[in-house]
Amino acid sequence: LSRVHFDTEARVATLDVPVSVVHGALDLIIPASMGRRVHAAARLPHELLLVPRAGHNDVVESGGEAYWTWLARALDAARP
């Protein structure tokens, strides 16, 4: 549908910062396999969180405490 192509995997491979990815396992818009590939492509992969019962728009709500813990670790890893 989109005419704009953004190669996220190629982009994260160039970053010199830890890359953390969170993704809903039930996402019907962007498959979880894409989140896994982005994380794997990162030069400095940090943490991947797949939220089992989350789709595309409910990762925060469905992730609960696991999401907030992931976010805190991701922010901490990003500090210089």
What residues form DSSP beta bridges with 51?
Answer: 24
Rg (CA), the chain: 13
Band of the pLDDT at 65, cuts 50, 70, 90?
Answer: very high
Rounded to two decimals, what is the model's pTM?
0.88
What tens digit of pLDDT does each residue of 13-62 get? 999 999 999 999 999 999 999 999 999 999 999 999 999 999 999 999 99
Give residue 5's pLDDT band: very low, low, confident or very high (50, 70, 90).
confident
The Cβ of residue 59 has, within 10 Å, a number of other Cβ atoms equal to 20
- pLDDT at residue number 6: 86
The answer on pLDDT for 2 being more than 70 is no
